């Protein structure tokens, strides 16, 4: 029952976040000549160049990333991403027909819209969901790089490069003002997201203290394809323990929490890591 209730709350938060994001894009950003970032930004550029309706463009651009994310990151992520993307797409379609106007300068309106967008995306990310394909793309790339090199990578540089490509395209094919305002959206939105998710694009160090590490290690290896460092430790009350250290990304954190919760007696902490040097 607790698991079902937790899932319901999670889906409601994702729905609320997607509605906030779609409201920001349709009612504030687009009327003020700014665009969203990531795959939504690509969809907006396509819509502006072709005259096609925005909501189908958003869903069509995101769909390949959604399928890839469900395959690579698991069924639960796929369900949450699908709910978020459907609500976001429908929300854009509905809010585009809603008369809404902010009687202020473009700069202030875009900053306000970026903050609302960031709050909506933060709600979704905190629940383990996603409505932007750039994060899934970055996740896929760092997984491939990690498998090849054996190193852990942050998503930051990949996300920056992806969005730089979106804004450069907007700069040349739409107009300069739109690209500049859209960059402001990115800065404000990511600042809000980072505040509420503790730098979701960074590497996460999970430290687990337990008396029975073998089952946890096997689950981490089989379900996340991650290796661990195991050290002897001692608790004043609990006595001899084992400390497990594992490095994952933000989208793997939900699965890691499930693994830890399924093993009674385990205590864990999560720390944000800016860089790993080898």
The answer on pLDDT for 225 being more than 90 is no
pLDDT of residue 176: 85
Please give the residue that has the higher pLDDT: either 44 or 75.
Answer: 44
Domains located in the chain, CATH noted: 2-197 (no CATH), 203-273 (3.30.70.120)
The answer on pLDDT for 231 being more than 90 is yes
On whether the CB atoms of residues 230 and 241 are closer than 8 A, the answer is no
Q: What is the pLDDT of residues 62-90, one digit of tens each?
A: 999 989 888 887 788 889 989 999 999 99
CA 206 to chain centre: 18
What DSSP element (H or E) covers 208? strand 203-210
Q: Please state, in angstroms and rounded to a whole number, the distance separating the CA atoms of residues 83 and 129.
A: 9
Bridge partners, 273 (sequence order): 203
Q: Please state, in angstroms and rounded to a whole number, the distance separating the CA atoms of residues 153 and 164.
A: 19
- In 3D space, the residue among 129, 163, 136, 184 whose CA is nearest the CA of residue 18 turns out to be 129
The answer on pLDDT for 155 being more than 90 is no
pLDDT of residue 69: 85
Q: Please state, in angstroms and rounded to a whole number, the distance separating the CA atoms of residues 8 and 4.
A: 6
What band does 278 get if pLDDT is binned at 50, 70 and 90?
A: low
The answer on pLDDT for 1 being more than 60 is no
Q: What pTM does this model have?
A: 0.84
């Amino acid at each position: 029952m607790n698991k079902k209730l937790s899932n319901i709350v999670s889906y409601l938060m994702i729905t609320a976040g997607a509605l906030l994001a779609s409201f920001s894009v349709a009612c504030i950003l687009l009327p003020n000549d700014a665009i969203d970032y990531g795959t939504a930004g690509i969809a907006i550029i396509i819509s502006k160049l072709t005259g096609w309706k925005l909501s189908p463009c958003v869903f069509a651009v995101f769909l390949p990333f959604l399928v890839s994310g469900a395959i690579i990151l698991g069924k639960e992520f796929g369900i949450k991403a699908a709910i978020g993307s459907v609500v976001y797409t429908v929300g854009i379609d509905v809010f585009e027909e809603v008369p809404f106007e902010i009687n202020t300068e473009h700069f202030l309106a875009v900053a306000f819209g970026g903050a609302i967008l960031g709050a909506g995306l933060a709600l979704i990310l905190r629940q383990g969901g996603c409505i932007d394909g750039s994060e899934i793309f970055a996740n896929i790339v760092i997984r491939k790089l990690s498998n090849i090199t054996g190193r852990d990578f942050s998503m930051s540089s990949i996300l920056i490069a992806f969005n730089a490509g979106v804004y450069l395209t907007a700069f040349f094919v739409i107009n300069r003002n739109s690209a500049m305002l859209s960059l402001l959206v990115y800065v404000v939105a990511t600042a809000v997201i980072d505040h509420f998710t503790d730098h979701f694009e960074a590497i996460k160090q999970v430290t687990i203290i337990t008396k029975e590490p073998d089952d946890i290690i096997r689950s981490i290896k089989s379900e996340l394809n991650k290796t661990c460092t195991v050290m002897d430790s001692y608790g004043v009350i609990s006595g001899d323990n084992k400390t497990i250290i594992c490095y994952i990304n933000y989208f793997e954190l939900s699965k890691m929490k499930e693994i830890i919760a399924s093993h009674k007696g385990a205590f864990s902490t999560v720390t944000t890591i800016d860089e790993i040097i080898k």
